[in-house]
C-alpha cells in the first residue's frame, strides 16, 4: 500500500509536469494516440528481451511519424489519420499480446495494477521518474519555447527537431511507467487533465507546473485510498478524482472560472475590480 | 563585420512538397542601414522568402547569405531576429510580457536559460524602449494589438539582432503604435540594422521604407522606393487586384486649395500625384524632392 502511494505520487508528478507542455503544444490527442500505440512495441520488446521503454518509444514514434507522413501526403486530416493509425496499432498489439505467453495480464496493461506492484518495479519507477522530471524541468524553458513560438527557437539556432523528439521520448517513457499505475486506457487522463486544471488557475508557467503537480499528486493519493476502501479499480478512481478537480477548477478558478465569468457578465464584480475581459478590451 | 550587416539573396527557388514552385529565381541584395518593404499579394511567396532568409526552408537552388555566410552559421550568432504575425501566436499561453522579451536572450544564455543580471538589464531596456515596461507582469493575451506587437519588437531588441524581419507589423495596430514602431525602426536603421518588413499595406511603404522588393513568385523589382514603387511596377506585382480611384474628374474645386482628405478604415492609402509621383503625408524633410519636382514642372 505504501509502495503504491510512492509510485502513484511519482507517476502523477511526472505526468503532470509533461501535461503542461502537452496541452500547450496542442498534443493532447497525440498523448492519447501514443499511449495506445505503444502496446505493440511493448509486446515486441518483451519477446526480444529488450527494456519495455525502448519498444514503447519506437512504437510511439512510429505512430507520430506515420501520422505526419500520411497527413502530408493525402487529403485526410490529421486527427482522422491519428485515429486510424493508433487504433490500428493498438489492435495489432492486442493480437500480438494474445499470441504471446507471458506472466503479464492484459487487464493490468489496460487498466493498471498499482496495488500489486513489486519492489523492483517501485525502484524502477522512482528512478525513471526522477530522470524524466529532472530532464523536463532543466530544459523547461526550451521546451516551452518550442510550444509557444517554434520560429524563435529556430532563429536562435536551437534545434526544434531535437526538442520535439526529446519531448516525444519523455512522453513515451512516462507512458510506459504510468501504465503500471493507471493502464493504457486511462493514462491519457494523467497526461492532460493536470495541465488543463493548472491552465485554468494561472497565467505563469512555473506556477502552472506547481499547480498541475499538486492537483495530480493529491488526486492520485486520494484515488488510491478510495479504491482500496471501495475495492474499485485504482486507475479509474485516480482519474475520477482528477476529473472532479477539473470540474471544481472550471467553476471556481479565480480568473478563468465559469462562476467568475458569469458574475462579471452580470456586472456584479465591477464594484470591486475590473475583470480580465475589461482589461483586454482596453485600447492602445 | 557584424556592425555593418549585409543580406544577399541569390537566385533562390523554393518548392512546396507537391513539387510546385513557391518562389523562382529570387534575387536581391541589401546593405547595412535600411528599411526594406517586401510587397506582394497573399501567396506571392512573401512568407516563403522570409522563411528562407530565416533558414526555415531550404532553397532548391540558389543561396541566402548574411554577412557573406550561410544562414545556418549566422543563426548561431543570433543575428537574425523576427517578429511574428499576430495570428501565429497563441495569446492564451501562460506567459508574461517579461517572459516573452526574455526569450530574446536565450541564445546568449547557457543551456539552462537562467538569466544573468546583464540579461535582465537588457530586457528592461528593451521593454522601456517600446514603452511596455509598466506592463511587464501582464499576461500577453491581456494586451491590445499594438501592445502585443511592441512586446515582440522588444524581444527582437533584447536579442540584439542585426537583421530584423517583421511580418505584417501593422495589422491590427492602432495609428499611434504604428508611428511609435516606425520611429523605433528608424532608430534601428540609424544603428546599421537591416530591417525587412513584409506588408500589403501599400500606403505606409513610402512613409518609412527606403527600399522595396516587389515579389510575385519571383522578385519583380527591387531598389530605392522612389524608383521601384511606381504605378507600373505595382500593377505588375498585383496584377489588377488593386482598386484605383482617379481624382481627375472629381468634384474638388480650385477654391478647395490643395487639401484632399482621404479616410480608410484600416490601411494607409497609397497616393500617386500627377505623372506618377509618389505623394507623402508631410512636406517636412522632403524639401529637396519638392524642389526637384517643381523644376521638372518648369
At A215, which CATH number?
Answer: 1.10.3470.10
pLDDT at A135: 96
Judge whether A195 lies within some domain: yes
Q: How many independent structural domains does chain A possess?
A: 1
* H helix or E strand, kind and range, residue A268: none
CB contact under 8 A, A204 and B75: no
Q: Dihedrals φ, ψ of B192, to 5°? A: 100, 5
Judge whether A236 lies within some domain: yes
Closest CA to A108 of A221, A13, A233, A232: A233
A22-31, B91-100, B208-217, B257-266: segment of lowest average pLDDT: B257-266
Q: Report how far residue B189's alpha carbon sits from residue B185's, in angstroms, rounded to the nearest whole number.
A: 6
Given the DSSP bridges, would you call strands B211-215 and B69-70 parallel, antiparallel or unpaired? unpaired
Can you read off the three cell numbers belonging to residue A11? 507517476
What are the residue ranges spanned by the domains of chain B? 6-228
Closest CA to A190 of A258, A251, A132: A132
CATH architecture of B6-228: 3-Layer(aba) Sandwich (3.40)
Closest CA to A32 of A47, A22, A42, A41: A22
| Nearest-CB residue to B174 (from A141, A204, A283) | A283
Q: Higher model confidence: residue A264 or residue B297?
A: A264
In chain B, % of residues over pLDDT 90: 56
Nearest chain B Cα distance for residue A105, angstroms: 41
Question: Predicted confidence band at B266 (pLDDT cuts at 50, 70, 90)?
Answer: low
Q: Report how far residue A98's alpha carbon sits from residue A15's, in angstroms, rounded to the nearest whole number.
A: 29
Selected for mutation to probe chain B from A19, A155, A281 (highest B CB count within 10 Å) is: A155
Q: What is the ipTM of this complex?
A: 0.85
Q: Within 10 A of A225 (CB to CB), how many other CB atoms are there?
A: 17
CB contact under 8 A, A156 and B107: yes
Judge whether A65 lies within some domain: yes
8-state DSSP, A118: -
What is the rounded average pLDDT of the residues A56-64?
A: 88
Residues in chain B with CB shorter than 8 Å from the CB of A144 are 95
Crossing angle of the two packed helices A119-138 and A140-148, in degrees rounded to 10: 70
Domain, as residue range, for A59: 2-268
Match 511519424 to its residue by C-alpha cell.
Answer: A65
Strand order in the sheet with B211-215: B80-83, B163-167, B194-199, B34-39, B211-215, B219-224
CB contact under 8 A, B103 and A152: yes
pLDDT at A281: 41
CB contact under 8 A, A141 and B89: no
Q: Report how far residue A150's alpha carbon sits from residue B88's, in angstroms, rounded to the nearest whole number.
A: 10
CB contact under 8 A, A155 and B82: yes
Q: Dihedrals φ, ψ of B272, to 5°? A: -105, 135
In chain B, % of residues over pLDDT 70: 93
Q: Chain-wide mean pLDDT for chain B?
A: 87
Q: Report how far residue A102's alpha carbon sits from residue B213's, in angstroms, rounded to the nearest whole number.
A: 67
3-state DSSP of chain B: CCCCCEEEEEEEEEECCCCCEEEEEEEEEEECCEEEEEECCCCCCHHHHHHHHCCCCCCCEEEEEECCEEHHHHHHCCCEEEECCHHHCCCCCCCEHHHHHHHHHHHHCCCCCCCCHHHHHHHHHHHHHCCCHHHCCCEHHHCCHHHHHHHHHHHHHHHCCCEEEEECCCCCCCHHHHHHHHHHHHHHHHCCCEEEEEECCHHHHHHHCCEEEEECCCEEEEEEHHHHCCHHHHHHHHCCCCCCCCCCCCCCCHHHCCCCCCCCCCCCCCCECHHHCECCCCCCCCHHHHHHHHHHHC
Q: Report how far residue A122's alpha carbon sits from residue B239's, in angstroms, rounded to the nearest whole number.
A: 69
CB contact under 8 A, A152 and B142: no
| Nearest-CB residue to A203 (from B94, B174, B176) | B94
pLDDT digits (tens, 9 = 90+) for A140-174: 999 999 999 999 999 999 988 899 989 988 998 89
Judge whether A280 lies within some domain: no
Judge whether A217 lies within some domain: yes
pLDDT digits (tens, 9 = 90+) for B30-47: 999 999 999 988 888 888
CB contact under 8 A, B106 and A158: yes
Q: Report how far residue A95's alpha carbon sits from residue B65's, in angstroms, rounded to the nearest whole number.
A: 54
CB contacts < 8 A, A to B, total 89
Judge whether A277 lies within some domain: no
Can you read off the three cell numbers belonging to residue A178? 504510468
Q: Report how far residue B152's alpha carbon sits from residue B101's, in angstroms, rounded to the nearest whole number.
A: 7
CB contact under 8 A, B56 and A139: no
Residues in chain A with CB shorter than 8 Å from the CB of B155 are 152
What chain A residue is nearest to B132 in terms of C-alpha separation? A284
Amino acid at each position: 500500500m505504501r509502495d503504491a502511494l510512492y509510485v502513484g505520487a511519482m507517476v502523477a508528478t511526472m505526468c503532470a509536469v509533461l501535461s503542461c507542455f502537452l496541452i500547450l503544444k496542442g498534443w493532447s490527442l497525440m498523448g492519447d494516440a501514443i499511449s495506445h500505440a505503444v502496446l505493440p512495441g511493448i509486446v515486441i520488446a518483451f519477446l526480444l528481451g529488450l527494456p519495455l521503454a525502448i519498444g514503447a518509444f519506437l512504437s510511439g514514434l512510429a505512430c507520430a511519424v506515420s501520422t505526419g507522413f500520411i497527413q502530408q501526403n493525402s487529403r485526410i486530416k490529421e486527427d482522422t489519420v491519428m485515429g486510424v493509425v493508433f487504433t490500428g496499432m493498438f489492435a495489432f498489439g492486442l493480437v500480438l499480446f494474445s499470441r504471446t505467453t507471458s506472466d503479464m495480464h492484459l487487464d493490468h496493461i489496460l487498466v493498471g495494477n498499482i496495488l500489486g506492484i513489486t519492489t523492483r518495479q517501485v525502484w524502477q519507477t522512482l528512478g525513471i521518474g526522477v530522470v524524466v522530471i529532472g530532464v523536463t524541468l532543466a530544459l523547461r524553458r526550451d521546451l516551452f519555447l518550442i510550444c509557444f513560438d517554434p520560429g524563435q527557437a529556430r532563429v536562435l539556432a536551437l534545434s526544434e527537431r531535437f526538442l520535439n523528439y526529446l519531448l516525444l521520448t519523455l512522453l513515451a517513457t512516462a507512458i510506459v511507467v504510468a501504465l503500471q499505475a493507471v493502464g493504457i486506457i486511462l493514462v491519457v487522463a494523467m497526461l492532460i487533465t493536470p495541465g488543463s486544471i493548472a491552465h485554468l488557475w494561472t497565467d505563469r508557467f512555473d506556477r502552472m507546473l506547481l499547480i498541475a503537480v499538486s492537483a495530480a499528486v493529491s488526486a492520485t493519493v486520494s484515488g488510491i485510498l478510495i479504491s482500496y476502501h471501495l475495492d474499485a479499480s485504482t486507475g479509474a478512481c485516480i482519474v475520477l478524482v482528477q476529473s472532479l478537480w477539473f470540474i471544481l477548477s472550471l467553476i471556481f478558478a479565480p480568473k478563468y472560472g465559469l462562476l467568475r465569468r458569469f458574475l462579471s457578465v452580470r456586472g456584479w464584480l465591477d464594484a470591486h475590480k475590473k475583470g480580465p475581459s475589461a482589461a483586454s478590451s482596453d485600447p492602445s | 563585420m557584424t556592425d555593418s550587416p549585409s543580406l544577399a539573396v541569390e537566385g533562390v527557388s523554393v518548392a512546396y512538397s507537391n513539387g510546385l514552385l513557391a518562389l523562382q529565381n529570387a534575387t536581391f541584395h541589401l546593405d547595412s542601414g535600411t528599411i526594406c518593404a517586401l510587397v506582394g499579394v497573399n501567396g506571392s511567396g512573401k512568407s516563403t522568402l522570409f522563411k528562407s532568409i530565416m533558414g526555415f526552408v531550404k532553397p532548391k537552388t540558389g543561396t541566402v547569405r548574411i554577412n557573406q555566410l550561410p544562414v545556418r552559421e549566422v543563426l548561431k550568432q543570433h543575428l537574425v531576429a523576427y517578429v511574428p504575425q499576430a495570428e501565429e501566436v497563441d495569446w492564451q499561453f501562460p506567459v508574461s510580457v517579461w517572459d516573452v522579451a526574455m526569450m530574446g536572450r536565450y541564445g546568449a544564455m547557457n543551456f539552462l536559460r537562467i538569466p544573468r543580471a546583464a540579461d535582465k538589464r537588457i530586457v528592461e531596456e528593451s521593454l522601456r524602449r517600446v514603452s511596455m515596461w509598466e506592463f511587464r507582469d501582464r499576461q500577453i493575451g491581456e494586451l491590445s494589438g499594438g501592445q502585443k506587437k511592441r512586446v515582440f519588437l522588444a524581444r527582437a531588441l533584447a536579442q540584439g539582432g542585426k537583421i530584423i524581419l517583421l511580418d505584417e507589423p501593422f495589422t491590427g495596430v492602432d495609428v499611434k503604435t504604428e508611428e511609435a514602431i516606425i520611429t523605433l525602426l528608424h532608430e534601428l536603421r540609424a544603428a546599421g540594422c537591416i530591417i525587412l518588413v513584409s506588408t500589403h499595406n501599400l500606403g505606409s511603404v513610402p512613409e518609412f521604407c527606403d527600399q522595396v522588393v516587389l515579389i510575385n513568385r519571383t522578385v519583380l523589382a527591387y531598389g530605392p522606393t522612389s524608383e521601384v514603387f511606381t504605378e507600373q511596377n505595382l500593377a505588375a506585382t498585383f496584377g489588377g487586384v488593386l482598386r484605383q480611384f482617379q481624382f481627375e474628374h472629381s468634384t474638388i474645386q480650385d477654391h478647395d486649395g490643395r487639401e484632399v482628405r482621404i479616410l480608410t478604415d484600416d490601411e494607409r492609402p497609397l497616393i500617386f500625384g500627377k505623372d506618377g509621383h509618389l505623394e507623402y503625408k508631410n512636406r517636412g524633410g522632403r524639401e529637396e524632392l519638392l524642389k526637384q519636382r517643381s523644376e521638372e514642372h518648369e
